[in-house]
A and B are shown apart, each in its own frame.
Chain A
Amino acid sequence: MSIVEVRNLVKKYPSFTLDSASFRIEAGRITGFIGRNGAGKTTTIKSMLNLVHPDSGEVDCFGLPLAGNEKAIKKRIGYSTGTVGWYPRKKIRDLVGIVRRFYDTWDEDAYRRYLALFDLDENKAPIELSEGMKVKVNLLLALSHRAEVLILDEPTSGLDPFSRGELLDIFTGLRDEGVAVFFSTHIISDIEKCADDIVYISKGRIAAAMPREAFAAQFSKDGESLEETMLRLERGEQHA
């Protein structure tokens, strides 16, 4: 069942165009959104969250159009925006104290669990944290309110290999609970480890949106890893 459906999203900038992006995010599956820097991943995600106003196209979540249902839809989504830090001098405790009030579904147990797992100190402010720890603060907020779909922009960037592994395990656990996880990355091994579906964007166009096995069957040569396939595709070489 599609939880999120993106149809023909177009966003034109002077030097970049997101060209008619269409794909679906399915319940209980992990979707890796892959593309090199500047391919349009963040523009697509921002459009899905109504942070960027697309020139045309639609985004439906839970069967409802995002336009006009923003508040109800956002309550059911968890999102994280990489290493962007909020309120650098406010304590995490204060930040969470405000955010939790916006969610009827705030899960204090989950919050405490992820706080311990990410080894975050509530009394620290973002300015005292490394880039990787800032990513964890954003993930903490995204994971603590029983979201039905997680939309995460570069959630593994800046994380050490151990934390990345833990995070990918969290994704797998959430998928098993029926949560849809959609995360962008340019680290292909993250996709190989846990993604069920792949959305591949190149130069503003969705080049592929399909299950990982179908992607491998269509694009990979025999014995080729996903990383090797992606590198070859980005170099503009013919697919298998």
Chain B
Amino acid sequence: MRDILRKEIRLSASPLAFLFIAFGLMFLIPGYPILCSAFFVTLGLFQSFQFAREANDIVFSALLPVAKRDVVRGKYLFVCGVEACALVLMLLAVLVRMTVLKDAPVYRANALMNANLFALGTALLIFGLFNLIFLGGFFKTAYKMGRAFVTYIVCAFLTVGAAEALHHIPGLAPVNAFGTDHIGLQLLLLAAGAAAFALLTFLSYNGACRNFERIDL
């Protein structure tokens, strides 16, 4: 499995997939819809899939001495690895904003959502949607990806919009908590995001393995 992941990183991946991980640090930008950073990370991944398609990557991978299921697993490991790196940057940004910068006026006066554990959970949900809609959609044919990506964009930005609007609804202000306020709720929302990510990725992976076994390359 290490070999197929190494192949993904060294041969299949576009440099943009790695560069766009840095968008995770957009969680530090005040007055900006920070969840767009999760979308930008997936934009780098989309570019990487296009790059790989031009290089006949899928057929090359299927010809290696691995089961077809391992080709799918390699792609999912690579994507989840990039998402995990971006989440680490987001987490660092969230921790900074929850601690040393929790009272910074520039963040307190922010009309948009705060970078807290709920935001991190929502980023996980967006990554889960990418894995479900885009990755799962890609493995239906192993070459068509436009429709799946557009569908994902719509879902991702609806999620961003809903998350941004949530704390303006009366009674839901605690989702936008600062520092360690409402920490129980915040941890719960983060756990819910992580659970959604795991579930969506698991469902997508199983479907992708099934579809990839059936399609002709």
A residues within 8 Å of B by Cβ? 46, 49-53, 70-71, 74-75, 79, 81, 84-90, 94-95, 97-99, 101-103
Contacts and interface: CB of A to CB of B under 8 A. Distances in A.
Contact of A88 (B55, B64, B67, B216): B55
Contacts of A90: 11, 55
Contacts of B56: 84-87
A120 B133 CA distance: 42
Interface in B180-203: none
A95 B59 CA distance: 14
Contact of B11 (A79, A98, A103): A98
Interface string B58-83: 01101111111010000000000000
Query: Which 6 pairs between the two chains have the least Cβ-Cβ distance?
Result: A74-B65, A75-B65, A87-B55, A51-B217, A52-B216, A86-B60
Contacts of B216: 46, 51-53
Given A71-B65, A74-B66, A95-B11, A101 B6 contact: yes
Interface of B: 3, 6-7, 10-11, 54-57, 59-60, 62-68, 70, 213-217
Nearest to B213: A53
A49 B63 contact: yes
Given A46-B217, A53-B215, A94-B10, 20 more contacts: A51-B62, A51-B217, A53-B214, A70-B66, A74-B64, A75-B65, A84-B56, A84-B59, A85-B56, A86-B60, A87-B11, A87-B56, A87-B60, A88-B55, A97-B10, A98-B3, A98-B7, A101-B6, A102-B3, A102-B64
19 contacts: A50-B62, A50-B68, A51-B217, A52-B217, A70-B68, A71-B66, A74-B65, A74-B66, A79-B63, A81-B59, A86-B57, A87-B55, A87-B60, A94-B10, A95-B11, A101-B3, A102-B64, A102-B65, A103-B65
